[in-house]
Structure 1
Amino acid sequence: MKNEKNISILKEMAESVRICMFTTFSKDDEFGSRPMGTAKIEEDGSLWFFTNEYSLKSKEVSKENNVLLAYSDPGNNTYLTVKGVAELVDDRVRKEAYFSPFIKAWFPDGIDDPRLILIKVVPESAEYWDASASKIVVLFSTLKALVTGDTPDLGKHDTMKF
């Protein structure tokens, strides 16, 4: 039951933003980040992305598959980071199901583009901040904390395991 709740929170927050900073790590403690659009979040919580099979990102995923996804919606004061394990997947059925006109801008030949491959990220843990109250409420809470010496109540914050 807890996992279903965590997946629901993950889906709601990530789907509202769609674009994340997709960070890969190497064994040399180097990392690379790039913006990527989430193509799909499945019911089990796995996140799917389209990419070029021959890109540096694909090479990084195939060598060291731990990734961090960072979703940010400053307008709604919501933030989500997801730690997970990534793998390259060549699945024609999923390509057809998840492909969109937006993806066509990078892959004009559509699902038949020989460079097109999917990245599947299985989440292991996530952390989120949700202060989706209006900016006035957040400002008031911050000012009140300054006056009273308390910590401002800026909404929900939690860590989740999958």
Structure 2
Amino acid sequence: MADKTLKEIATKMAKLDIALLTTHTSRGQLSSRPMSNNGDVEYDGNSYYFTFEESRTVKDITENQHVNLGLSGPKGLYISIVGNAHLIRQRATMQQHWVPDLEKWFKDGLDTPGVVLVRVEAKRIKYWQGEDEGELTVQ
């Protein structure tokens, strides 16, 4: 088991778009849903996903910011990211992560009522690929 650096893990994540975002519900259950980062894959320990203000995702994060991201990729790559989710409503920050493909869900772009950006700040990353596995604590 040879632990990798954040940069090495980021390289493996570069083409991965879909993650399963798991939150804690108000009833103490876990709830997962697929989220697309829409090609925003310059990974630095933060992941970004757009959703709606009225979504279950936002409700769960408001009550408990501790989340998990699960990703899988080619050649048996699996990544689990434990972190804290933050809700971002500042248009300037959202603009930095906006791509035109998002308009299939948010028809008026950033002017769509209730659009919110979720930032997941990694605290611990675990990865597996064949017999190679390891863990990284993100500062």
The residue that corresponds to 2:80 in the other structure is 81
The residue that corresponds to 2:7 in the other structure is 8
Work out the number of aligned pairs and report it.
134
CA distance in 2, matches of 1:127, 1:17: 16
The residue that corresponds to 1:121 in the other structure is 120
CA distance in 2, matches of 1:125, 1:159: 7
The one-letter amino acid paired with 2:18 is I
The residue that corresponds to 2:72 in the other structure is 72
Matched, 1:157 2:113: no
Partner secondary structure for residue 29 of structure 1: coil
Which structure: greater strand fraction? 2
Give the TM-score, by structure 2 length. Answer: 0.86
Q: Which has the larger radius of gyration?
A: 1
CA shift, 1:81, in A, is 0.4
Listed as ranges, the gaps of 5+ residues in structure 2 are: none
The one-letter amino acid paired with 1:60 is D
**Does 1 or 2 have the higher relative contact order (CA < 8 Å, sep 6+)?**
2
Superposition CA RMSD, Å: 1.9
Equivalent residues in 2 for 1:9-158, closer than 5 Å: 9-26=8-25, 28-39=27-38, 40=40, 44-73=44-73, 75-131=74-130, 154=131, 156-158=132-134
Q: Report percent identity of matched pairs.
A: 26
Listed as ranges, the gaps of 5+ residues in structure 1 are: 132-153
CA distance in 2, matches of 1:23, 1:38: 15
The one-letter amino acid paired with 1:158 is G
The one-letter amino acid paired with 1:30 is Q
Partner secondary structure for residue 5 of structure 2: helix
CA shift, 1:44, in A, is 4.2
CA distance in 1, matches of 2:60, 2:12: 26
The one-letter amino acid paired with 2:78 is Y
The one-letter amino acid paired with 2:114 is R
CA shift, 1:35, in A, is 0.3
CA shift, 1:18, in A, is 1.4
